[in-house]
């Protein structure tokens, strides 16, 4: 089987050396030395003054909303992972959806002002698949209406916009270090801000609100992460340039191989140093996408309808039509992207998609996708 993603894993010996140290210290969590080392190395790598390592990307969003004391309505995108919306609702706020740009797949800033009411307190925008939002337009609107800005940058590790880490923008940026991400700590997340006082507040909030041994300064939660997770992060950070290089090579292979197809590709914001974490393709119709997925599944190639359905269709929210997002969500599919995806496997994916786009050609033989070079050669040979 070819999955849509696999976690990058470092040398087992390297990881084991960190585990041995944890065993020796017997300090497993509660802001241990590896957590502190990871935060320091992340700040250095990203060239940012502050970084807070937390349990996951969802709690990172919840901390940001809570720390900014947001109430009422938060303008957001309907095209993102469900955590973007659920974090807003979980914190007692109301998500107000604004449709997306059909080229960038990000929230359309030209539609934001029409959604602002006296109850609006913030904009929470997602850099979809690591593609930067129209940051200048969003920030200008936020300043005009005195709104806070949170960027959900879950997919963005390694992305730079105008020469700076994408995490440098907004009042707060959050990210995910989940195992499916380009850089991961098995489970984990990050919170970034340029505001020292806000960072200090979220640091207290991360640990139940403790400001001393027996003093509390904030209402808090348990958003800490463990030494074991930090160890994986420290290992993986050593390979980050290799990971980024491999992702770019895979991305460019897919793009050049499918350039002449009828597929639509995401338009990447200018002045962006992209991380190539995902490769989404948009079909002419939902039926064409479903047919292609069916052909891929015949040989056990797993792709994902990411993101589907539109968040505006969530059952615990008032239903509202988002024409562009609704259309894109039905027609989009992400192709396999991971560090160990080999030439035969990616060639198989391209050949099946090309065949599905041209149904007059011979049908694909339904053979299992064995994870060997010989089996991969057999599968490709059966796609004429």
Q: What's the pLDDT tens digit per position in 187-214?
A: 999 999 999 999 999 999 999 999 988 9
Tokens of 146: 């005195």
Residue 362: predicted pLDDT: 52
369: confidence class by pLDDT, cuts 50, 70, 90: very low
Q: Examine the pLDDT at 372 and tell me if it is beyond 50.
A: no
What would the two tokens of residue 233 be?
């992060």
Q: What is the pLDDT of residue 380?
A: 43
DSSP 356-370: HH-TTSPPPP-----
User: Does 19 have pLDDT greater than 70?
Assistant: yes
Please check the confidence at residue 229 and state whether its pLDDT lies above 90.
Answer: yes
Position 357 scores a pLDDT of 84
Average pLDDT, integer, range 15-25? 98
Are 196 and 167 in contact by the 8 Å Cβ rule? The answer is no
Instruction: Give pLDDT tens digits for 27-36.
Output: 999 999 999 9
CA dihedral 234, 235, 241, 244 (to 10 degrees): -100
pLDDT of residue 374: 37
Q: CA 161, CA 164: separation in Å to the nearest integer?
A: 5
Residue 363 has pLDDT above 50, yes or no: no
Indicate where the chain has its CATH 3.40.640.10 domain(s).
12-98+106-237
Tell me: the pLDDT tens digits for 275-321?
A: 999 999 999 999 999 999 999 999 999 999 999 999 999 999 999 99
Q: Assign a CATH topology to domain 240-381.
A: 3.90.1150
State the fold for domain 12-98+106-237: 3.40.640
Distance between CA atoms of 321 and 333, rounded to whole angstroms?
21
Q: What is the pLDDT of residue 358?
A: 78
Cα→Cα distances 168→137, 161, 164, 237, 369, Å: 16, 9, 7, 19, 42
Helix (H, G, I), strand (E, B) or coil at 219: coil
Q: How does the average pLDDT of the chain come out, rounded?
A: 94
Q: Once rounded to an integer, what is the mean pLDDT over residues 128-152?
A: 98
Pairing of strands 332-334, 172-176: unpaired
Residue 248 and residue 110 in contact, taking contact as beta carbons nearer than 8 Å? no
pLDDT tens figures, 35-94:
999 999 999 999 999 999 999 999 999 999 999 999 999 999 999 999 999 999 999 999
Chain region(s) in the chain for CATH 3.90.1150.10:
240-381
pLDDT at 359: 66
pLDDT score, position 361: 52
Q: Find out whether 254 and 246 touch, Cβ atoms under 8 Å.
A: no
Q: Where are the beta strands (DSSP E) in the chain?
A: 52-54, 73-76, 94-97, 120-126, 148-152, 160-161, 164-165, 172-176, 189-192, 272-273, 280-282, 332-334
């Amino acid at each position: 089987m070819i999955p849509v993603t696999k976690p990058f894993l470092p040398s087992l010996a390297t990881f084991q050396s960190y585990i041995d140290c944890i065993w020796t210290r017997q300090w497993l969590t509660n802001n241990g030395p590896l957590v502190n080392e990871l935060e320091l190395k992340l700040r250095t790598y990203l060239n940012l003054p502050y970084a807070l390592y937390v349990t996951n990307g969802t709690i990172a969003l919840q901390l940001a909303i809570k720390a900014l004391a947001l109430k009422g309505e938060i303008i957001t995108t309907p095209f993102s992972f469900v955590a973007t919306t659920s974090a807003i609702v979980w914190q007692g706020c109301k998500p107000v959806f604004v449709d997306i740009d059909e080229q960038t797949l990000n929230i359309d800033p030209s539609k934001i002002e029409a959604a602002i009411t006296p109850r609006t307190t913030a904009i929470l925008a997602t850099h979809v698949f690591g593609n930067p939002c129209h940051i200048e337009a969003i920030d200008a609107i936020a300043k005009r209406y005195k709104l806070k800005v949170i960027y959900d940058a879950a997919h963005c590790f390694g992305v730079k916009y105008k020469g700076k880490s994408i995490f440098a923008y907004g009042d707060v940026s959050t990210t995910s270090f989940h195992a499916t991400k380009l850089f991961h700590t098995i489970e984990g997340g990050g919170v970034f801000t340029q505001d020292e006082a806000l960072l200090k507040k979220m640091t207290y909030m991360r640990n139940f609100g403790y400001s001393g041994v027996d003093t509390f300064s904030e209402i808090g939660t348990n958003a800490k992460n463990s030494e074991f997770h930090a160890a994986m992060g420290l290992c993986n950070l050593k390979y980050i340039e290799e990971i980024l290089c491999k992702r770019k090579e895979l991305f460019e292979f897919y793009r050049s191989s499918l350039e002449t197809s009828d597929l639509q590709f995401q338009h990447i914001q200018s002045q962006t140093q992209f991380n190539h974490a995902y490769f989404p393709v948009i079909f002419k119709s939902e039926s064409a996408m479903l047919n292609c997925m069916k052909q891929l599944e015949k040989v056990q190639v797993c792709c994902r309808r990411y993101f589907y359905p539109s968040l505006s269709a969530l059952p615990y929210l008032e239903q509202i039509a988002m024409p562009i997002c609704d259309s894109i969500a039905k027609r989009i599919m992400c192709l396999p992207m991971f560090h160990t995806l080999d030439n035969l496997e990616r060639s198989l994916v391209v050949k099946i998609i090309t065949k599905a786009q041209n149904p007059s050609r011979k049908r694909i033989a339904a053979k299992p996708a064995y994870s060997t070079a010989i089996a991969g050669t057999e599968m490709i040979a059966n796609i004429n």
